[in-house]
Amino acid sequence: MLREINFDGIVGPSHNYAGLSAGNLAATAHAGRVSHPRAAALQGLDKMRANLALGLAQGVLLPHRRPDHAWLGKLSTTYNDAPALLQAQAMSASAMWAANAATVSPAPDTADGRCHLSVANLVTMPHRSHEWPETLAQLRIAFAHDGFAVHGPVPAPFGDEGAANHMRLAASHGAAGVEVFVYTVAGGRFPARQHRQSSEAIARAHGLDPARTLFVQQSEEAVAAGAFHNDVVAVANEHVLFAHEFAFADKHAFFADLRRLLPEVEIAEVPASEVSLADAIASYLFNAQLVTTEAGPTLIVPEEARANPAVWMWLERHRAGNGPIRRVETVDVTQSMANGGGPACLRLRVVADQTTIDPRFMVDPAKLDGIGAIVRRWWPEAIDPHALADPALVRDIETAQAKLLEALDMSGYLTVNHDR
């Protein structure tokens, strides 16, 4: 049976605030502050528990090895000899944001009837550009069944940031859907991370029906305001699209196409007069998990959304009215939010038959408890980004990673090749 499964990234032991992501206002605002990797990982595990309690299927993606010595070797240096910026880029825990791991097209949408996953190249940001080999290694293990096709990255210079710029709408998860690729254009205040050429290449690789595939430009206004990915201003699930008024460059054409292809679509648009782009981005109202529960379409938002009066007032009015979102849940992911990643950033959605997935990547409450015990024992309590060169910190991070892989019976999976 096909169902949607959320694969959350486990927050790695090197989680720190080095401020490496241009255009990510939260990340740059918190640059140089002390992070709390143990608390960050535990918050992420609690979010997964909350998903399970809602009746959702839950999986995990593993933190990457940090520092990334292989990547530094490609740059003809070592961690000890590298300048501070390269050290920070090699130490980044940004793979925790699994929405950037890959773009996923479920089997009902593809020509060969398999679920296709294309690993994101993340070439725009140096600290993320070296994630794809390890992500690809995990995807090839988790989705090794013949029902999946796992693709390598789109080649540079075309930027691809994965599911954070991709939405799928359908009458149900198991029905044929409309796939929406949201791209950005160069020339603005911040880098254009998702290139249309990348989205088109992925659609071709996945064998999508061109008649049911839309390429939509994100508004330059949203990007300039700090919406570095589409999932900062829009999210979709089954027949519901939830978006800010200024999310798209030509919303009228997009909405018309969507209604033509999926007549049952419900569009919940938040007017800028009620929630400004600034409030939407600061609260991560749209960087939420929009999921299907017994109560109906449910929105899982960060606590920051409740703390923003304009945002919470809109949600309360919508829920009290006859809008498509019937339930709102809040989660505490404060440590991730401070680096610019909300509930939606932390998960990759895959519509699949759960029995075809490597069980080591699936979790239940007991397994989460076991991971939590490892985090409490081995994850650093705090990291000052100015102290990333400390050999003791490097040793602690590498030990923590090894302990987790050993506990999950994954110690041997990381045979990856950093050549394309």
Which residues are the active-site residues?
A: 161, 229, 345
Tokens in use for 48? 């997964």
Q: Phi and psi dihedrals of 344, rounded to 5?
A: -70, -35
C-alpha distances in Å from residue 42, one per residue of 35, 129, 177 = 13, 26, 35
By CB atoms closer than 10 A (0-12, 13-18, 19+), residue 33 is middle
Tokens in use for 176? 């044929």
Closest listed residue to residue 91, CA positions, set 174, 12, 188, 8: 12
CA 219, CA 239: separation in Å to the nearest integer?
A: 23
Residue 141 CA neighbour count, 13 Å, CB half:
20
CB 346 within 8 A of CB 288: no
Q: Phi and psi dihedrals of 166, rounded to 5?
A: -140, 135
Strand partners, 105: 116
Place of tokens 């294309």: 118
CB 354 within 8 A of CB 3: yes
